[in-house]
A and B are shown apart, each in its own frame.
Chain A
Amino acid sequence: QVQLVQSGAEVKKPGASVKISCKTSGYTFIGYSIHWVRQAPGQRLEWMGKINADNGNTKYSQQFQGRVTITRDTSANTVYMELSSLRSEDTAVYYCARLGYGGYGFDYWGQGTLVIVAS
Chain B
Amino acid sequence: SYELTQPPSVSLSPGQTANITCSGDKLGDKYVCWFQQKPGQSPVLVIYQDNRRPSGIPERFSGSNSGNTATLTISGTQAIDEADYYCQAWDSSSAGVFGGGTKLTVL
| Interface residues in chain A, defined as those with a beta carbon under 8 Å from any beta carbon in chain B | 35, 37, 44-47, 50, 59, 61-62, 95, 97, 101, 104-107, 109-112
Contacts and interface: CB of A to CB of B under 8 A. Distances in A.
Contacts of B94: 59
Interface size class of B (residues with CB under 8 A): 20 to 34
A101 B95 contact: no
Interface of B: 1, 31, 33, 35, 37, 42-45, 48-49, 52, 54, 86, 88, 94-101
Contacts of A107: 45, 48, 54
Contacts of A110: 42
B95 to A, nearest CB: 6
Contacts of B97: 47
B101 A45 contact: yes
B69 to A, nearest CB: 18
Q: Chain A contact residues: over half helix, strand or loop, or mixed?
A: strand
A2 to B, nearest CB: 12
Contact of A46 (B35, B43, B44, B98): B98
B52 A44 contact: no
Nearest to B96: A47
B1 A95 contact: no
B48 A101 contact: yes
A37 B48 contact: no
A59 B94 CA distance: 8
